[in-house]
Amino acid sequence: MKKSTNTLVIAGLIVLASSTGFAETQIRDGKQASVIQSDAPLSTTDDAWHVSITPYMWIPSVDLDVSVPLSINGKQYTANLSVDQPWWNTVSDLFKGKTSVLCADGRIEVSKGRWGAFVDGYWLYTKVSQDGSSSRTILNGDATITRTNSITNQTQIMQINFGPRYLLGTIVLDKAADVSVGFEAYGGARVNWFSNSLEATATINNFDLRFGKGINRTFIEPMIGLKTVWKLGPNFVAILRGDIGGWGVVEDNVDCDLEAAIAWQFHKNTYIDIGYRARGQWMNVGASNSITVQGWAHGPELGMTFCF
C-alpha cells in the first residue's frame, strides 16, 4: 500500500472534519428537538425514540484498476484490467440493456437523545471486457501466425457499515433557529465482501486456450467518521460527512466514504435526498496479496427518507 495514498485520504478527512458541522432544531411539543433529513434525529433534549429508513439509488462513475496473476502452462502472467466509465455512460448503458456497472444502497438509523446507531450498506458490480488480435509472418513469409484473445473480468464489492452515533454539540446561527450547525461522530465496523472472476480465451491458428480465475473474500475492519448537517431554513438541510476504514489491518485494505447532499421535506416525515457520493478503495487480497484493486466510485445519488 502506498503511503502517499493513505496520507492523501487522511488529510482530506481532516480538512472535511475541520470545515463542517451538524444539526438543525425546531420546537416540537414544547421541546427543542433535532430534525434531520436522511437520519434519525439526535438531540440533547428529546428522549423519544426515532427511526429513519432511506432507500436510495447511486449511479457512480467508476475508475477502477484490477490486477490478477495467472498461471498458464507453468508460466506466470498478470492480467491488468481497468474500468473507466463516467456515470452518464452508465445511465446510457442501462437503457441499452448493458450491465457494465450496477449499484444498490440503503440506510437505517435509530436514535434516542444524544446517542444513536446506524446500518448502511452498498453493493457495486463492474464488468469489463477486452478483445485483441494480431498476426505476423514467419519463415520468410511462407507462414502466418494469427492470434486472437478475449478477457472478461467481473468485480463485486459489498460493504455493510454499522455502529454507534453520538451528538457532540449544536450551534444555532440565527435568533429564529432557522439556521444551525453542529457535529456528530460515528464509527464501528465495516463488513467487506469482495468477489472477482476472470475468464479468458485465446486462439492461435485455430488452437483454442481457455482459462479462468476466481476469488471471494469476506473480512471485517474498523471505521470512524464525522458527519455534519447544516439547516438551511424550515424545509432544507445540507449534509457533509466522511469516514475512513481499514488502515491496512485486514487484507491490506484502506477505504473511505465521502458524501455531500441536500434534503427537502416535501411531506410530513418524508424527505427527498439528492447528493453526490464518493468511495475510494485500495486493497490487496489473496495469497501473498496477489490481487490488487484500487480506484474510486463516485457519482450522484437520489434517495427518499421515511421518519417514524
* Percent over 90 (pLDDT), the chain: 20
Residue 15 lies in a domain: yes
pLDDT of 22 > 80? The answer is: no
Model confidence pLDDT, tens digit, residues 66-86: 787 766 556 666 777 777 888
Tally of structural domains, the chain? 1
In the chain, the amino acid numbered 23 is A
Model confidence pLDDT, tens digit, residues 106-129: 899 998 888 999 999 888 887 776
Residue 180 lies in a domain: yes
Question: Where in the sequence is the domain holding 81, given as residue range(s)?
Answer: 3-240+256-307
**β 207-232/179-204 pair status:** antiparallel
> What is residue 132's predicted lDDT score, i.e. its pLDDT?
55
The distance from CA 109 to its chain's CA centroid, rounded to whole angstroms, is 18
Position with higher pLDDT, 193 vs 17: 193
Determine contact, residues 116/162, Cβ cutoff 8 Å: no
CATH number for position 110: 2.40.128
Angle at 29 between CA 109 and CA 111, to 5 degrees: 15
d(CA 288, CA 77): 16
pTM for the model stands at 0.71
Residue 235 lies in a domain: yes
> What is residue 15's predicted lDDT score, i.e. its pLDDT?
34
Residue 28 lies in a domain: yes
In the chain, the amino acid numbered 139 is L
d(CA 219, CA 169): 34
> What is residue 206's predicted lDDT score, i.e. its pLDDT?
60
Residue 246 lies in a domain: no
For every residue of the chain, which 3-state class applies, written as one string? CCHHHHHHHHHHHHHHHHCCCCCCEEEECCEEEECCCCCCCCCCCCCCEEEEEEEEEECCEEEEEEEEEEEECCEEEEEEEEEEECHHHHHHHHHCCCCCEEEEEEEEEEEECCEEEEEEEEEEEEEEEEEEEEEEEECCCCEEEEEEEEEEEEEEEEEEEEEEEEEEEEEECCCCCCEEEEEEEEEEEEEEEEEEEEEEEEEECCEEEEEEEEEEEEEEEEEEEEEEEEEECCCEEEEEEEEEECCCCCCCCEEEEEEEEEEEEEECCEEEEEEEEEEEEEEEECHHHCEEEEEEEEEEEEEEEEEC
Residue 248 lies in a domain: no
Residue 280 lies in a domain: yes
